[in-house]
Chains A and B, each alone.
Chain A
Amino acid sequence: EADIYQTPRYLVIGTGKKITLECSQTMGHDKMYWYQQDPGMELHLIHYSYGVNSTEKGDLSSESTVSRIRTEHFPLTLESARPSHTSQYLCASSVAGRNEQFFGPGTRLTVL
Chain B
Amino acid sequence: QKEVEQNSGPLSVPEGAIASLNCTYSDRGSQSFFWYRQYSGKSPELIMSIYSNGDKEDGRFTAQLNKASQYVSLLIRDSQPSDSATYLCAVEGSAGNKLTFGGGTRVLVKP
A99 x B43 contact (CB < 8 A): no
The chain B residue sitting closest to A50, CB to CB, is B97
The residue on B at minimum CB distance from A35 is B101
Scan A84-109; emit 1 where CB is below 8 A from any B CB, else 0.
00000010000000111111111000
Of B13-21, B44-52, B56-64, B72-80, the one contacting chain A is: B44-52
A48 within 8 Å of B by Cβ? Answer: yes
Decide: A58 and B98 in contact? CB cutoff 8 A: yes
How many contacting A-B pairs (Cβ < 8 A)? 44
What is the chain B residue whose CB lies nearest that of A41? B103
Interface size on A, residues (CB 8 A): 20
Q: Which residues in A have their C-beta under 8 angstroms from that of B90? A: 101
Interface residue A1 (Cβ < 8 Å from any Cβ of B)? no
Interface: B88 (CB within 8 A): yes
> How far apart are A65's CB and chain B's nearest CB, in angstroms?
18
Chain B, Cβ-Cβ closest to A103: B43
**Of B32, B46, B98, B102, which one neighbours A33 at CB under 8 angstroms?**
B98
**B99: interface (CB < 8 Å):** yes
Contact A99 B99 (CB under 8 A): yes
Question: Does A43 touch B at the CB level, under 8 Å?
Answer: yes
Cβ of B92 under 8 Å from chain A: yes
